[in-house]
A and B are shown apart, each in its own frame.
Chain A
Amino acid sequence: MIKFAETVLNGFALGSVYALIALGFVVIFKASGVMNFAHGSLLLFGGYVTARLHDAIGFIPAVLVGAALAAALAGLVQLLATRGLRGAEIHTLTILTIGVDVLLSTELNRQIGADYLTMGDPWGADVTRLGSITVADARVASIVVAVVVIGAFFAAFRWSRWGLSMRSAAADPEAAALMGIRLDRVRLIAWCVAGALAAVAAVFLAAFPAPGLDRTTGQIALSAFPAAILGGMDSAVGALVGSLVIGLTAAMAAGYQNELSVLGAGFPDVAPYLVMVLVLLVRPTGLFGSKELTRV
């Protein structure tokens, strides 16, 4: 029972980090219809900046700078896509992000090498005991931070001018543009928000019990793909639900590895994808995704 509770808590912590990443996917997808494959390297970039700066300026400012730079970089990618490829197909833009990802991840891999970079986070390896349940502080922090950040995001999405223009642009870009909404600007902000969210997620991906930020951290962002897809690519609520499902799946698969040994070693890594494929079989556009309609 204790193990089960700890596993569930871990699942929530993991899910909260995935939610930060998956929300970024969804925001970008809603704004510009692009699946951003460069997300993993954006995340790695934000984490890298934080890791390099925290000694000099302290942890919180370093995170803020990392988020700001990751946002700027994401904005650059979007500018490249809109300026360079005005009116190209969505597929083309998606493949463009793959090209950007190749460039970014190669460079970051060279910079990081085989090192583990510490984030300088205040939690270190501390643990908190709730009765007989032990949970790492970093995980509690990740849940708290994710709830705050995601809550702020949803509030902005619901009540701010940007959120309104974002929603209308997603609903019908043509009509939104005719009503005076600057699509380019809305998209730019969406990409920046996604970049910043990814940078925050990087901090928690590198925190305890992970040994630190290394060259493979960006690939963890790939696990947020199933989360975003499972919930539905154009639904922010879906991203949250999907992230929790994927987080719990991964934590359960890791926690009960011995009981699941029949499924082979390394099963926790593939469990999210398995769950996603099963969901897609039943609902081809995810749990909350809008169905594709065609007008003829």
Chain B
Amino acid sequence: MSDTRATAEPTEPAETTEPTETTGITEPAEPAGTVTAPTAAPHSPSAPGRRSGKVSPRGRRAATLAAGVLVLLALPFYVSSFWLQTGLFAMAAVIGAIGLNLLSGTTGQLSLGHAFFLAVGAYGYVWLASEPSGTGYGSRYGLGLPPVLAFVLAIVLAGAAGGLFSPISGRLRGMYLGIATLALVFLGHHMMLNAPQVTGGFNGRSVPPLDILGFSFTDTSPDGLTVIGVPFGGLERLWYVGLALVAVAWLAAHNLLRGRPGRALGAVRDSEVAAAVMGVHLTRYRASAFIISSMYAGAAGALLALVFKRVVPDHFGLLLSIDYLAMIVIGGLGSVGGAACGAVFVALIPHLLTKYADDLPLLTAPGTTGSGVSPGDAARYLYGTAIVLVLIFAPGGLAGLARRRPRGKGDDSPRTRRFPLRNRTTPKEHTP
């Protein structure tokens, strides 16, 4: 057994195509003294939600997946630009949420600083891809790199920012880490406002468009591009970039979680001591989780910048961080698919409510004064309620619902869960 599993998670047979991989069919011996109490949230870092014991037809899954991908690929030919833009926002959110899920869901490190790393990605792309301009106070720095290279480097930059923070993030636990990352958001916002040469200050900076070898992802160059009679403007072209990014992000996270690192990260979440005993290099894994999560956020931020066409500091505030936390909680901690669903949910709601404000009861269109609820407020009510209800009725989030595990058949008896044990990662050993 080369894997480092410290928990007695019920493992479904992993859907691997290589039969060489055996995922813990025989339980490794528990290290003495650790009583494993897997947490209430039924997330296993291995196979995605499948009911063990039932031979789930893999063909049907593949067919569903293929159909979904086909629909997504075909969308730009059928829907208006509003839906494309909203969809792109959702894609950026999906990428960011998958990243935060690796950190908070799988590794159990609460982070409220996700917005900061999104900002690093967004501003990093702008700074790397822009040509320098202006003079004096209005001067703007820029490296004028090819946009694709700038995009990649922006992701690296966000990862580096996460790495720079690791002296702090590696030493702190739980709430201390949460508040320290909260500080990142405020300090980052302060830097954005006070470094106008790089960020454009309060009013932000316009985003140079993405182009690959002369093919620009805007409405021009080539002008009036049509595919099968459908005009292909910037949003349609970006759509496929977004899809490709989401696919890469999804697959990378999926494979990471299914492999050795994923199990190690899960072990770190459940019990650091047990994980260390099993040979997981704690510091390294915690730092790596932080860096990878930051890189995901950077990719999300850069994509967001491309869709927005202008980045402003106020977008990357505490609220955005909380949005991301809400996404992974609603989706289900520790599940890639769940994070994606939660992200789509949280990202779409405000846009949909704004669009259909006139047709919905109690809502007032933005800008009008009335007794109704503005769409933005309504969206926040909705997802605030969603967080509370999901936590109470479906602690595993949407992913947990999809698994349809009967509740109450947890692996640990209610007796040990009665007392949230603080400062002690294992229940007390009662020596006679």
A residues adjacent to B (C-beta < 8 A): 29, 32-33, 35, 80, 84-96, 98-103, 106-107, 109-110, 173-174, 177, 183, 222, 225-226, 229, 233, 264-267, 269-270, 273-274, 276-277, 280-281, 284-286, 289-290, 292-296
Contacts and interface: CB of A to CB of B under 8 A. Distances in A.
A296 B429 CA distance: 9
Contact of B273 (A32, A99, A269, A296): A296
26 contacts: A87-B40, A88-B391, A88-B395, A89-B41, A90-B422, A92-B391, A92-B395, A94-B175, A98-B325, A98-B326, A99-B388, A102-B326, A103-B381, A106-B377, A110-B373, A173-B419, A173-B422, A226-B179, A265-B194, A276-B179, A277-B180, A284-B171, A290-B423, A292-B423, A294-B424, A296-B31
B384 A90 contact: no
Interface string B387-400: 11001100100000
Contact of B388 (A33, A96, A276, A296): A96
Contacts of B333: 91
Given A99-B388, A295-B428, A296-B273, A276 B322 contact: no
Contacts of A270: 186-187, 189-190
A269 B186 contact: yes
Which applies to chain A's interface (DSSP): helix, strand, loop or mixed?
Answer: helix
Contact of A276 (B173, B183, B421): B183
B194 A292 contact: no
Contact of A98 (B172, B387, B417): B387
A35 B177 CA distance: 12
B197 to A, nearest CB: 13
Given A98-B322, A286-B176, A294-B425, A183 B419 contact: yes
Contacts of A91: 104, 108, 110, 174, 333
Contacts of B104: 91
Contacts, number: 175
A103 B272 CA distance: 34
Contact of B183 (A29, A266, A274): A274
Contacts of A174: 419, 421, 428
Interface string B179-197: 1101100110111011000
Nearest to A223: B186
Contact of B422 (A33, A80, A264, A277): A33
Interface string B322-339: 100110010001000000
A273 B191 CA distance: 13
B183 A284 contact: no
Given A90-B420, A94-B175, A173-B421, A266 B193 contact: yes
B167 interface: yes
